[in-house]
Amino acid sequence: MSVKYIPVQWNRSKWFYDAVMLAGVLLFLAIFLFAAPGLVGHERPISAQIHNARAFGACAFVMLSIILCIGPLARLDDRFLPMLYNRRHFGVMTVFVALTHVSFILNWYFTFSPNPSEIENLLRANTSYSQIGGFPFETFGIIALICLLILAATSHDFWLKFLTPPVWKRLHYLAYLAYAALVGHVVLGILQDQRNHALTVLFLGLAFLVVALHLVVWLRERAEADAKGGAWTHVSSTKDLREGFAKIALLPTGDRVAIFLHEGKVSAISNACAHQNGPLGEGRIVDCLVTCPWHGFQYDVRTGRSPAPFTERIPTYNLRLRGDLIEVHTDPNPPGTPVDPLTLPEGAA
């Protein structure tokens, strides 16, 4: 590190993942618009502009579904972690696709209305909120778009620093509200005007996949935490540790702890970086300093403190050895509390 933290800049991997995302968007739109337009059968004939709008709307739904699947997939399989690291770009691209969908709708339906305000025309077009059939599904779309715009506007590190990581993290739970509103928008909108149900299967299948993946991960982690229990809980065997790397464990409290082996000694810190809750346990340790793989923040695993002149701190944990089993106390120490490393017997690791 230099005199300031330098976030991960554009590199070959980022260019590659963004290129893949863009290619995926273009491929989806090409299939929707040209290769298989018959899959999107409509009850009534529609114009080319509305077909374009529905193509971009469907693309935005698929993209947001994939975004919400990345988190649980990364917890189930480490091979999805590169997608997790670049998920912010995916979200911003989704917003641009959604805005294109909205522009097609406004320009086609409301450009020639007497009222010059297209947004006001949209809100006044249908006010049948007391019935399910013909419910103004546009309202759900507006809610989803507002949430996505907030997420995109606050994705920069400035807002993370200004709002603090806990507030920033809670704010980004709006992604789930956006998805719920988007499901309502789709179900009460385009799916009511289908002859061919291929699109219905795609939408409902993706929504089910998002819910199912989150449920599977939640049940798995709850089962692991319940199996541990107690103020002191087993987190690893000495044989499972690798020099210079960490083993990540879920505590009964729901927190994740990273247990590092360095020069025959073991230390435990919170797995969440103070910058953006990045997974510290996936970083490499050098000279007792672990580097967060997301943006390069560093912490001493013995103290949970960043090296001077930086002031970031994370919680540390107390460890003890029971035979060849390493146990951690589930109560974290205050951020930046020094803890003597646990020395392993000769040949234990």
Q: Where are the domains of the chain?
A: 12-224, 232-343
Q: How does pLDDT run across 138-181, given as a tens digit for each residue?
A: 889 999 999 999 999 988 777 877 787 778 888 889 999 999 99
Q: How does pLDDT run across 266-296, given as a tens digit for each residue?
A: 999 999 888 878 888 888 787 788 988 888 8
Q: Are 143 and 181 in contact (CB under 8 A)?
A: yes
Least confident segment among 44-58, 123-137, 250-264, 326-340: 123-137
Quick one: fold of 232-343? Answer: Rieske Iron-sulfur Protein (2.102.10)
Tabulate helix, strand, coil % of the chain (nearest 5): 50, 15, 35
Distance of CA 44 to the CA centre of its chain: 38
Q: 30-43 burial string, b = 16+ CB within 10 Å, else e?
A: eebbeeeeeebebe
Over pLDDT 70: what percentage of the chain? 82
The answer to whether residue 347 scores a pLDDT higher than 60 is no
The answer to whether residue 229 scores a pLDDT higher than 80 is no
pLDDT band at 1 (very low <50, low <70, confident <90, very high): very low
* pTM for this prediction: 0.67
Amino acid (one-letter) located at 28: F
